[in-house]
């Protein structure tokens, strides 16, 4: 049994994990950089250990310091949250070598999915549909040309070590392929120290739909439906929904069955997310995230599940204790990420919170670690809160989010709340009619209309 969890993270997700631990009677250990000495996750933890200077490289990514903190406090498990060390296979391995439970998948599964080529090869072998493209890494430019001719232009060359939009190059026609090939390889080598690349047909107007799964250590895997994360700008998600306005129940069941069968055959354990591009009624797997995600609350609201509690139970070796038929999805949920940024230029706006009033009422959840007097440090990302609403229908969820954003007061820093209000009022958003390109076009139109 797990009785004390070290949370290797900061901000709202550190608090989110603490809350689950407290309800389960589990003690918590916070770690923090010197810049976070006054952070909420430090104040609310049972114990706290300073692990280094502000730079994440020397604190939240400092494996030796984190393991020392776990040892001196007698923690028996580590939850990595998202970002930082959450998808670092060596970290997961080291944690387990020290006799602690890693609250996440096996190091082997993290490694397999971290390489986008082995992730795709694995999923293909398990019957998950993929984007048409190369079978594995491209050995040379000639191979790139041949695959591109076969699948048809435009194509994308992607880095095996990439993901999240880094190391991707489009070739619109055969005239571009040589350049895309060499630029993608050079960027991949510079960014990741690995110049392996693969090729896919470029999908021009997909939605980004991801499926939440949980597997236990006994081979049981269930899914909790999908999230539509198409509303992003420069690969930063801004607003997410569960379920996707584009999917039918039959489509959800079909992709869910395919994915859970695949992950069960892999022996996948703990929380994971399969990312798909969805266009013209087709799902194409692109990547798998082997961690809890920022946007997990929309799934929690719709499925009435505590995903962090489930992660901890799974890491203690407990069976899921329910089957797919027990997972019931009800209503619609929306999350707005509230970043301390200028809502027009997206410039970060660090500073001190002067006034803060969180919205409330039926179906409203605010996950945040800010408080009046809190100084947002400039060293980390700019997300200061996640506002999540749940309602019986999508239209009611939109109305509820609009009134919750109206209630929300954050003074002292700029936030993207005004942008969220414009998005929610937009007719095409309200119709659910959007792709991954919608938000960038919307922002450009706003700027042009000034
Ligand atoms: C694609 C694509 C179109 N076609 N692959 C970007 C991040 C990485 N996770 C995969 N990405 C994309 N892969 C093919 N074959 C378009 C994107 C893409 C994207 C995907 C999801 C969410 C937002 C995106 C924004 C731009 C491009």
Tell me, yes or no, if the two domains 4-85 and 207-448 fold the same way.
no
SS3 content of the chain, % helix, strand, coil (to 5): 40, 25, 35
- The CATH H-level superfamily of 132-201 is ATP-grasp fold, A domain (3.30.1490.20)
* Token pair belonging to 124: 């293909």
Q: Which CATH number applies to 4-85?
A: 3.40.50.20
Q: How far is the CA of 209 from the centre of ligand 1 (A)?
A: 11
Q: Domain limits of the chain?
A: 4-85, 132-201, 207-448
Active site residues: 291
CB atoms near residue 250 (< 10 Å): 8
How far apart, in whole angstroms, are the C-alpha atoms of residue 144 and residue 183?
Answer: 13
Residue 259's contacts (CB-CB under 8 Å, 6 or more residues apart) are: 128, 211, 213, 223, 274
Q: What are phi and psi of 120, to 5 degrees?
A: -70, -40
Residue from 436, 439, 442, 443 whose mutation best tests the ligand 1 pocket (most atoms within 8 A of CB): 436
β-pair type (77-79, 101-102): parallel
Looking at residue 167, its pLDDT comes to 79
Q: Tell whether omega for the bond before 243 is within 30 degrees of 0, i.e. cis.
A: yes
The ligand 1 atom nearest the CA atom of 230: 22
Q: Which CATH number applies to 207-448?
A: 3.30.470.20
Looking at residue 410, its pLDDT comes to 98
Looking at residue 409, its pLDDT comes to 98
Number of H helices and E strands in the chain, helices first, is: 15, 18
Looking at residue 127, its pLDDT comes to 97
Residues with CB under 6 Å of ligand 1 are 131, 156, 163-165, 200-203, 206, 208, 232, 235, 277, 286-287, 436
* Token pair belonging to 402: 């609009």
Do 29 and 22 form a contact (C-beta atoms < 8 A)?
no
Question: Which stretches in the chain have pLDDT values below 70?
Answer: none
Nearest to residue 219, comparing CAs of 126, 328, 319, 310?
Answer: 319
């Amino acid at each position: 049994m797990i009785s004390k969890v070290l949370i290797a993270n900061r901000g709202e997700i550190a608090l989110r994990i603490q809350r689950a631990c407290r309800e389960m009677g589990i003690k918590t250990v916070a770690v923090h950089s010197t810049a976070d000495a006054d952070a909420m996750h430090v104040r609310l933890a049972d114990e706290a250990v300073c692990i280094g200077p502000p730079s994440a490289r020397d604190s939240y990514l400092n494996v030796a310091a984190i393991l020392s903190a776990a040892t001196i406090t007698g923690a028996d498990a580590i939850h990595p949250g998202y970002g930082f060390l959450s998808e670092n296979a060596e970290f997961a391995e080291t944690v387990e070598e020290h006799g602690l439970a890693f609250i996440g998948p096996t190091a082997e599964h993290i490694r397999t999915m971290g390489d986008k080529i082995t992730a795709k090869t694995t999923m293909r072998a398990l019957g998950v549909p993929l984007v048409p493209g190369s079978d594995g890494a491209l050995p040379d430019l000639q191979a790139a040309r041949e695959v591109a001719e076969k699948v048809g232009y435009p194509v994308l060359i992607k880095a095996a070590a990439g993901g999240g939009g880094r190391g991707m190059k489009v070739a619109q026609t055969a005239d571009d392929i040589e350049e895309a090939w060499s630029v993608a390889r050079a960027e991949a080598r510079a960014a990741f120290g690995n110049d392996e690349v693969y090729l896919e047909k470029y999908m021009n107007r997909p939605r980004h739909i991801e499926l939440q799964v949980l597997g236990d250590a006994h081979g049981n895997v269930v899914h909790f439906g999908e999230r539509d994360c198409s509303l992003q700008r420069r690969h930063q998600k801004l607003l997410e929904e569960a379920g996707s306005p584009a999917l039918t129940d039959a489509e959800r069941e079909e992709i869910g069955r395919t994915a859970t069968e695949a992950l069960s055959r892999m022996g996948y354990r703990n929380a994971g997310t399969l990312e798909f591009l969805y266009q013209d009624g087709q799902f194409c797997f692109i990547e798998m995230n082997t961690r809890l995600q920022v946007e997990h609350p929309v799934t929690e609201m719709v499925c009435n599940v505590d995903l962090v509690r489930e992660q901890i139970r799974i890491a203690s070796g407990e069976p899921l204790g329910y089957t797919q038929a027990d997972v019931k999805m009800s209503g619609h949920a929306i999350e707005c990420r509230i970043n301390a940024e200028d809502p027009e230029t997206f410039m970060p706006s660090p500073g001190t919170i002067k006034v803060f009033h969180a919205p409330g009422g039926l179906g409203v959840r605010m996950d945040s670690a800010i408080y009046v007097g809190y100084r947002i440090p400039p060293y980390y990302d700019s997300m200061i809160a996640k506002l999540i609403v749940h309602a019986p229908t999508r239209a009611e969820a939109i109305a509820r989010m609009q009134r919750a954003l109206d209630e929300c007061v954050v003074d002292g820093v700029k936030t993207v709340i005004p942008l969220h209000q414009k998005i929610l009022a937009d007719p095409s958003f309200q119709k659910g009619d959007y792709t991954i390109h919608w938000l960038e076009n919307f922002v450009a139109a706003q700027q042009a209309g000034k």
